[in-house]
Amino acid sequence: MSETEHIDDEREDALEGLGYLRDDQRFYDGDQFDLDARLSLTRVPGMSTDLSDISEVEYRKLRLERVVLCSVWTEGTATDAENAMAELKALAETAGSQVLEAVMQRRTTPDPATYIGSGKVVELAEVVRATGADTVICDGELDAAQLRNLEDRVKVKVVDRTALILDIFAQHASSVEGRTQVELAQLTYLKQRLRGWGGNLSRQTGGRAAGGAGIGGRGPGETRIETDRRRIGHRIAMLRRRLQHIESTRASKRADRIRSMVPSVAIVGYTNAGKSSVLNRLTRAGVLVEDALFATLDPTTRRTTTSDGRVYTLTDTVGFVRHLPHDLIEAFASTLEETAMADVLLHVVDAADPDPVGQVDAVRAVLSGIGAGDIPEILALNKIDRLSDDAIVTLRSAFPDAYLVSAHTGEGMGELVDAIEARLPVPSRRIDVVIPYARGDLMDKIHHNGTIELIDHTADGTHVIAHLHPALAAEVQEVCRGD
């Protein structure tokens, strides 16, 4: 066996281990080149940064961050708190961390000074020292004072949930728009939490003056942290202008679809619920599929047709999560606008998750926040191939109107497609005309954008009875009157 064949076999074994290439899944998910790139970057055997002779440069051994998770349980049941901690663990591992320990506290509200209270901070510091952790991740959004107080007492880096999610987005963003949106969200988050130590708080001086004396050094001056905040503000303004330019391009494409009256379906759902897999199964789009949180961030739109020939679009959107950072929602406004302007929402839920009801509630809360709460919704419970018969019965009772599907095996996808086609907006104007044979372009538009009741070929032309959108109906009737 050649070296190339050996590498290909290893690649297929890795993908099969992740559940991507079994049976006919390769046909629907495509070649997954993006996933190949991720695997190739992480599977490099025999590499080490340890050197026997360190003379001029200090080389540190590459390793995952060792983290301790910290959570404040303010509402819900103990099961809800455990599920939230499990999700935080998954987020931390997705960001590239090794979780060593997790601590949880029951409080009515988080402590305004240290998030978990002064007594618990001492216990947390002991856990950090005992485990050798270098980072603490808190399951909440902390302000600058809470971050500073925790780091001063625990003596390691402290990261909150918002910064963790932003870090994952920064790792997975690939397009220019995605990277710009993530940078905008990160800078907006950082601007409110700038801190300075030592020289960072000293006054600036000018010329040859030193110590605040001499020409150019008198007066209150300006602190370094104020300069940093101003520079971040300038960068934020530049990123907003760049996003406006990108949004104008997206708006022109959206206007073309609106003029053509092409119905749109937005695939929404919790992160890692299988939205990209559903898109691949329905359209063979070849979008990256990976068992990880926020694996795909950039929206993907594909055209497909109904059983009667009408064209509509399917858009895979960014995944949601509980307590999605507000800065992230604001930065991804142009992307989320695709969801708010859709005709139908295909809400994909991970049926194998311990708390599918919580996922549904979290997604619907975000949808309401972006103005998409009133759009018709189709609920699809994905990954039923992982469930037992008893679990499926429980889900049917909890979600009686949902469709139970498996994007991996294709089970239930036919019924889901029928439901999507039934929910698409039906053209409202009925026409009964004879179209000249020379106007084949009009017949093509009718086939793609209308619902046809009758087609009959006569001596004068094609007799058509169909339901069309008002603009197309007016164009057809104008042509027929002119002839």
Q: Where are the beta strands (DSSP E) in 11-112?
A: 65-73, 97-106
> What confidence score (pLDDT) does residue 53 get?
44
DSSP 166-218: HHHHHHH--SHHHHHHHHHHHHHHHHTT----GGGGSBP--TT-BTTBSTTT-
Residues at the annotated binding site?
269-276, 294-298, 316-319, 382-385, 406-408
Show Cβ contacts of residue 66 under 8 Å, excluding neighbours closer than 6 positions. Answer: 97, 98, 100, 131, 132, 133, 134, 135
Sheet strands side by side (includes 462-468): 429-435, 462-468, 451-457
- Asked if residues 424 and 266 have their Cβ atoms less than 8 Å apart, the reply is no
DSSP 100-112: EEEEEEE-SS-BT
For residues 348 and 25, what is the distance between their CA atoms, to the nearest angstrom? 19
Q: Where are the domains of the chain?
A: 3-37, 65-168, 175-195+224-261, 262-423, 429-482
CA geometry: angle at 280 spanning 286 and 245, to 5°?
Answer: 65
> What confidence score (pLDDT) does residue 458 get?
85
Residue numbers in the chain where pLDDT is lower than 70: 1-63, 195-223, 253-260, 285, 287-292, 334-335, 427-428, 482-483
Answer positive or negative: Cα dihedral of 274, 404, 362, 78: negative
For residues 165 and 134, what is the distance between their CA atoms, to the nearest angstrom? 19
Q: How far is CA 388 from CA 273, 384, 413, in A?
A: 18, 8, 19
State pTM to two decimals: 0.71
For residues 236 and 329, what is the distance between their CA atoms, to the nearest angstrom? 15
Residues at the annotated binding site for Mg(2+)?
276, 296
- Asked if residues 285 and 295 have their Cβ atoms less than 8 Å apart, the reply is no
Q: How far is CA 229 from CA 183, 184, 194, in A?
A: 15, 14, 7
> What confidence score (pLDDT) does residue 25 get?
53
Q: What is the pLDDT of residues 307-348, one digit of tens each?
A: 877 788 888 888 888 877 777 777 777 667 778 888 899 999
CATH class as words, domain 65-168: alpha beta
CATH class as words, domain 262-423: alpha beta
Residues at the annotated binding site for GTP?
269-276, 294-298, 316-319, 382-385, 406-408
Q: Phi then psi for 387, rounded to 5 degrees?
A: -105, 155
Q: Where are the beta strands (DSSP E) in 388-441?
A: 403-404, 429-435
Instruction: Say yes or no: do domains 65-168 and 262-423 share a fold.
Output: yes
> What confidence score (pLDDT) does residue 404 get?
94
> What confidence score (pLDDT) does residue 154 get?
92
> What confidence score (pLDDT) does residue 462 get?
86
> What confidence score (pLDDT) does residue 445 get?
81
> What confidence score (pLDDT) does residue 348 get?
94
